Amino acid sequence: MLSQQASFTDTRRAKHNLATKRSRKKLNEHLNMLLQLVSNGEKAVVPTRSKVRTLEEIMHKVQKLQERVQLLETKLLLSDTGKFETWISDLVLAEDFHLLPTLAKVCDVVSQLFAWKVAEIWFAFEKESIDSESKKVTLKLGNSFATNENGFVEKQFIAGFLASSQKYEFDPSHGLPGTVYVNNTPLWLNHLPSNPIFLRAPLAQTFGIYSALGIPFSIFGRTEAVLVFLDYTPRDENQNIAQRLVEIFKALACRVEDTLQRNQRSYAVSKSFSQ
């Protein structure tokens, strides 16, 4: 009796083990099929029996596909004038509109399109001059960030450059931000570790930053900020890219001017009714 019961138990265990093996095999097959699917036709896809490793690879591939889709959406947005104007208007007309985060959003989008690795926003601040009644302009770093063109490791590394740059301020005609501010024109620089205009050359040398493009941002004819885009490799000067960025930020400036004028008129009307 006991032997029959043991035999029955062994049979059930054997069937369970066989079903489990078949289930695992099928799961591995489906995971590898999914891996092949998200690999976008890459040839060097090696099936693996480790489900954890396969899932990690799938997640990595999906992330890369998402980045490609985002880049395509960005290209479509910036190539379609109507959609771009609508997007800019939505940003500026939002109830929680603030210039700095809006500039950061636009900088992030154009960085994806033109593959810049770091974006900076240098604002022009006025302060009283000690020996004069006039006000002195100083360019201070309002915001800076590693763009989505960076991987995780790159973002961790470049964080040191972003933190160190916070200590810098530039007078007009000094450094890349100051030079762009004074001339109110784009400026493309290469070989930053040895470029005399780039006053953060030691940082560029330490963190491997080799090229930059500065773009002025003006409102009502006055330069309010300088936008700086940086890359880890030397990039040949491209006037088409510079001009496209100028056009993009001019479009944003026009929307900001319209909003400020409209708000000022609304304030004047409400004030007249309250009197």
Question: Which residues, 6+ apart, have CB-to-CB distance to 256 below 8 Å?
Answer: 92, 99, 102, 219
Residues of the chain above pLDDT 70, percent: 65
User: Which tokens sit at 234?
Assistant: 């030397």
> What's the average model confidence in pLDDT over 61-88?
65
Q: Are residues 56 and 94 in the same domain?
A: no
Least confident of 43-47, 167-171, 179-183: 43-47
CA-CA distances (angstroms) from residue 178 to 12, 78, 128, 198? Answer: 80, 28, 18, 10
Exposed, middle or buried: residue 124 (CB in 10 Å: 0-12, 13-18, 19+)?
buried
E strand or H helix that includes residue 199: none
Residue after which a domain boundary falls, among 11, 39, 66: 66
Mean pLDDT of all residues belonging to the chain? 80
Q: Are residues 120 and 34 in the same domain?
A: no
CA-CA distances (angstroms) from residue 74 to 78, 175, 212? Answer: 6, 31, 21
Residues of the chain above pLDDT 90, percent: 41
> What's the average model confidence in pLDDT over 122-151?
82
- 34 versus 221: the higher-pLDDT residue is 221
Residue after which a domain boundary falls, among 40, 66, 92: 66
> What's the average model confidence in pLDDT over 28-44?
61
Q: Are residues 116 and 56 in the same domain?
A: no
List the domain range (segments joined by +) for residue 34. Answer: 2-66
pLDDT for 275 beyond 50? no
| Phi/psi at 121 (5° precision) | -125, 110
Q: Are residues 124 and 35 in the same domain?
A: no
Q: How many domains does the chain have?
A: 2
> What's the average model confidence in pLDDT over 210-219?
96
Please answer whether residues 123 and 225 qualify as being in contact, where contact means their C-beta atoms are separated by less than 8 angstroms.
Answer: yes
Tell me the pLDDT band of 68, cut-offs 50, 70 and 90.
low
Give 215's strand partners.
227
Residue after which a domain boundary falls, among 15, 37, 66: 66
Please answer whether residues 192 and 165 qualify as being in contact, where contact means their C-beta atoms are separated by less than 8 angstroms.
Answer: no
Type of residue found at 67: E
Q: How far apart are CA 108 and CA 257, in angstroms?
A: 22
